[in-house]
């Protein structure tokens, strides 16, 4: 099985200085164009993908729809692919407003601490590992999974044992699943990382 993990395109929160996480923002017009370019690159791989699984958050669903429509394959929401709920109560809020009205939550997020209502790093990592394992066991030959930057971070750092730096909008990694549950990296496009 080959699994192509794709980061969604640019979303509205990227432009409005709002916390993302589980807040549900749509793609921007630029995000749509980014995904169309990504689909062209995916088409050039000459791999027959069976399905597009997407995080149920709007920016990923819209990105997945672009891919599914242009490749003429089905799309299905897959809860495990959601972004980390790292912002908790701050999700969707403008950052300047949060700093003024909820300085204790703003400070906790800024310093990498726990924000009320958020998902812990341990729980998020467990979810990412579960997602990857469940996808590997699905009855498909090749799968496209549309997800988020936080998910990609855990995929690289904890599963692939690579030092994740950044995934650009529409960036992707193509993995070949091995019998032992591990992966071979076949192609990376639009993602910066280093070998550890």
Residue 113: band (very low, low, confident or very high) from pLDDT cuts 50, 70, 90:
confident
For residue 66, the tally of other CB atoms under 10 A from its CB is 24
148 in active site: no
Domains, the chain, ordered by start: 2-84+120-195 (3.40.50.1240), 86-118 (no CATH)
Point out the catalytic residue in the list 62, 83, 109, 119: 83
For 130-162, the pLDDT digits (tens) are 999 999 999 999 999 999 999 999 999 999 999
For 50-81, the pLDDT digits (tens) are 999 999 999 999 999 999 999 999 999 999 99
pTM, full prediction:
0.93
CA nearest to 1, candidates 176, 187, 138, 180: 176
CA nearest to 170, candidates 28, 56, 47, 69: 28
Residue 5 has pLDDT above 80, yes or no: yes
CA nearest to 47, candidates 195, 194, 187: 187
CA distances from 128 to 26, 121, 147, 152 (A): 23, 10, 11, 9
Q: Name 78's Cβ contacts closer than 8 Å, sequence gap at least 6.
A: 53, 54, 55, 56, 131, 135, 145
Point out the catalytic residue in the list 8, 62, 119, 148: 8
CA distances from 118 to 65, 79, 93, 130, 162 (A): 28, 16, 14, 19, 25
83 in active site: yes
Residue 43 has pLDDT above 90, yes or no: yes
Distance from C-alpha of 156 to C-alpha of 158, rounded to nearest angstrom:
6
């Amino acid at each position: 099985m080959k699994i192509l993990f794709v980061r969604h395109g640019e979303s509205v929160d990227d432009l409005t200085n709002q916390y993302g996480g589980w807040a549900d923002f749509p793609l921007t017009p630029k995000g749509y164009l980014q995904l169309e370019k990504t689909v062209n690159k995916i088409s050039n791989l000459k791999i027959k993908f069976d399905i597009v699984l997407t995080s149920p958050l709007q920016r990923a669903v819209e990105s997945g729809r672009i891919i599914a429509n242009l490749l003429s394959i089905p799309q299905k929401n897959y809860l495990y692919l959601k972004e980390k709920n790292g912002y908790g109560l701050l999700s969707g809020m403008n950052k300047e407003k949060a700093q003024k009205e909820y300085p204790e939550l703003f400070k906790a997020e800024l310093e990498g601490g726990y924000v009320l209502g958020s998902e812990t790093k341990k729980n998020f990592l467990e979810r990412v590992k579960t997602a990857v394992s469940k996808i590997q066991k699905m009855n498909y030959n090749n799968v496209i999974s549309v997800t988020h930057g936080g998910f990609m971070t855990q995929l690289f750092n904890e599963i692939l044992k690579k030092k994740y730096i950044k995934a650009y909008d529409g960036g992707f990694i193509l993995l070949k699943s091995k019998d032992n549950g591990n992966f071979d990296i076949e192609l990376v496009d639009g993602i910066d990382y280093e070998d550890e």
